[in-house]
Structure 1
Amino acid sequence: MPNTPHQLAEEFPDKIDRMHDLKESNAHFRKLFDEYHEVNRAVHRAETNVEPTDDAHETALRKQRMTLKDQIAAML
């Protein structure tokens, strides 16, 4: 989904090169990166009612996204 908000390139525009390097060299970062995007897409689908869900599940997805983003930020 090209218009999905909260893409990591938008969240960390000054770290795009670093993210690319880490994706290539660090399996743990690559796993976090991929998981972040998977969860972010799920949040976007829930918010836009493409895949409606209850509030508790949507909140849990947002918290998971935030935790992943914090872990990614710490590695950057």
Structure 2
Amino acid sequence: MFPEFRDLITKLKGHDAHFTRLFDKHNALDQHIKNKEAHIEPSTQIEIEQLKKEKLALKDEIYQVLLKASA
């Protein structure tokens, strides 16, 4: 995610607790979605779509933090 910000992501993960929480939650949601799509965890398509929307919102928030920090 955001390879152009790789160094900044590493820096923020070491110094910004809010960013770290957002990043970790995004990664956890990604894994949760993969488990549901692989039928490792029970789910409906509606639940999966809702999780994907939540993940996308987190990604947008992460991007905004990255833009602000890079300015």
Structure 2 length-normalised TM: 0.86
Question: Offset at 1:52?
Answer: 3.0
Structure with more helix by fraction? 2
Higher relative contact order (CA 8 A, sep 6+): 2
Q: For 1:16, which of 6, 28, 31 is the aligned residue?
A: 6
In the alignment, structure 2 segments of 5+ residues that lack a partner are 67-71
Q: For 1:36, which of 2, 7, 26 is the aligned residue?
A: 26
Q: For 2:59, which of 44, 48, 69 is the aligned residue?
A: 69
Structure 1 length-normalised TM: 0.81
RMSD over equivalenced CA pairs, Å: 0.9
Q: How many residues end up aligned between the 2 structures? A: 66
In the alignment, structure 1 segments of 5+ residues that lack a partner are 1-10
Identity of aligned residues (%): 32
Query: Which protein has the larger Cα radius of gyration, Structure 1 or Structure 2?
Result: 2
- Structure 1 stretches (4+) deviating beyond 2 angstroms? none
